Amino acid sequence: MDSKEINIKEPKGKLGVLLPGMGAVATTFVAGVMAVKKGIAKPVGSVTQIGTIRLGKRTENRSPLIKDFIALAGLEDLVFGGWDIFEDNCYQAAKKAGVLDRYMLEQIKPELEKVKPWTAVFDKKYVKKLDGTHIKSGNTKMELVDQIRQDIQNFKKENNLDRMAMVWCGSTEIYMDPSEDIFNDLDAFEKAIRENHPSIAPSMLYAYAAIAEGVPYANGAPNLSVDFPALVEFAKKKGVPIMGKDFKTGQTLMKTILAPGLKARYLGLNGWFSTNILGNRDGEVLDDPESFKSKEVSKLGVLEHILQPTVYPDLYGDMYHKVRINYYPPRGDNKEGWDNIDIFGWLGYPMQIKIDFLCRDSILAAPIVLDLIIFMDLAARSGMKGIQEWLSFYFKSPQAAEGLYPEHDIFIQLMKLKNTLRYLKGEELITHLGLEYYD
């Protein structure tokens, strides 16, 4: 498709940020935005805040900041709201999460304390390790949807918001089979909500409510939430951008950086063993086998899609991929992820790579939440609807159009993201093709 400038509505007024789940990731994101606004810290890791984009030929030397190239909502436009099963305000929750230090939190305490979660839609059946105290009740799941919609409408009115966007930062729910009939079409799904079908988890109710209110929705966890045909159909019908799933941080981030490089040099892979220790609440939730199953499925798809064993059977046909997550409280949010990678080269000679990533999960996830909010809003203002594959860059298990495989290679994902921005502004797409050899 040729580039032609698309009509993008100006980002005027306030942008409401809706966060179901105000734990480690959400509070690190909210506190981070407040700290950046105060000039206490820099928004490291955020494409929307510090990323640049090359335009035209290399000789033109045009590489503006993305936020100067295309009109995006600014940090000062963001207003925060959300839900949690615990009553703690954002300051208390951030303190408990233990990601940011006391010194930083004290400087933004008054602003953080003002962000208080609304009562959540929660059922222990879907997150076995948690017991909520701050939760809604209703006779049917559709009544609960209506309560979420009411919260969204009140938030908009009380804060005089122009637009909103929602990112699921709640705990990982148990695995659900996406091939169940109720997920296949919208009528069946709505009927199932009204009839309290047991396969409808709370995250799906938030997603449904967001779409019904015309609010773009991104899913940061590996549970289904919005990743099935019925809600894709609903999003298209309502003209709403949706995306997911599972923020790409930590070990999977490393995997999607390294695996494309090995494949680019046609090096073979016998096995990739990944194990993690982490001690935050997310780790505790993932200690339950049913929640872990959602995470495992999300993490395992990556290598298969990047390395394409059916195309390269000699290199990847026999690879063994294993992922483990171990809950280990002393480590808190500071996860440690080990990878042992058995590769082989010329004539099949074996080699090994070891990675020991001492990472901070929520520090890697917070800029993703920020970028998703800002880019989702851009998508909505540009008239884009349905699955936003150009934002696959941010996900472990990107949602893709039916019949298509997801793109996992982080370098292709980044090219797709930037080319989408160029396309929106009528700029030439960058193919890296050089024709100077013929001059």
Ligand X SMILES: NC(=O)c1ccc[n+]([C@@H]2O[C@H](COP(=O)([O-])OP(=O)(O)OC[C@H]3O[C@@H](n4cnc5c(N)ncnc54)[C@H](O)[C@@H]3O)[C@@H](O)[C@H]2O)c1
Residues that bind ligand X (CB under 6 A): 20-26, 83-86, 97, 120-122, 127, 130, 169-172, 202, 220-221, 246-247, 249-250, 280-282, 361-362, 364-365
Strand-pairing partners, residue 271, are 320, 342
Q: Kindly report the length of the chain.
A: 439
Beta carbon nearer to ligand X, 15 or 99: 99
Beta carbon nearer to ligand X, 88 or 407: 88
Beta carbon nearer to ligand X, 26 or 30: 26
CB of 102 to ligand X, least distance (A): 18
Strands 268-278 and 320-327: parallel
Q: Is 245 left (phi over 0), alpha (psi -120 to 50) or beta?
A: beta
Beta carbon nearer to ligand X, 122 or 189: 122
| Residue whose token pair is 């190239």 | 69
Beta carbon nearer to ligand X, 235 or 365: 365
CB of 226 to ligand X, least distance (A): 14
List strands edge to edge, sheet with 320-327.
Answer: 320-327, 268-278, 336-344, 350-358
| d(C-alpha 232, C-alpha 246), whole Å | 17
Closest CA to 303 of 274, 346, 336, 338: 274
CB of 245 to ligand X, least distance (A): 9
Beta carbon nearer to ligand X, 276 or 419: 276
Closest CA to 24 of 394, 364, 344: 364
CB of 25 to ligand X, least distance (A): 3
Beta carbon nearer to ligand X, 35 or 421: 35
CB of 30 to ligand X, least distance (A): 11
Q: What are 141's two structure tokens?
A: 């799941």
CB of 360 to ligand X, least distance (A): 9
Q: Is 241 left (phi over 0), alpha (psi -120 to 50) or beta?
A: beta
CB of 435 to ligand X, least distance (A): 42
Q: Which of the 8 DSSP states describes residue 183?
A: G
Question: Is residue 294 exposed (0-12), middle (13-18) or buried (19+ Cβ within 10 Å)?
Answer: buried
Q: Which residue is nearest to ligand X (CB)?
A: 23
Q: What are 375's two structure tokens?
A: 């880019």
- Contact (Cβ atoms closer than 8 angstroms) between residue 266 and residue 308: no
Strands 320-327 and 241-243: unpaired
Beta carbon nearer to ligand X, 55 or 369: 369
| Residue whose token pair is 């919208």 | 186
Beta carbon nearer to ligand X, 22 or 34: 22
Beta carbon nearer to ligand X, 30 or 169: 169
Q: Which of the 8 DSSP states describes residue 133?
A: S
CB of 216 to ligand X, least distance (A): 18
CB of 133 to ligand X, least distance (A): 10
CB of 88 to ligand X, least distance (A): 8
| d(C-alpha 334, C-alpha 360), whole Å | 5
| d(C-alpha 367, C-alpha 25), whole Å | 10
Beta carbon nearer to ligand X, 130 or 267: 130
CB of 408 to ligand X, least distance (A): 15
| d(C-alpha 24, C-alpha 20), whole Å | 12
| d(C-alpha 275, C-alpha 262), whole Å | 20
| d(C-alpha 313, C-alpha 310), whole Å | 5
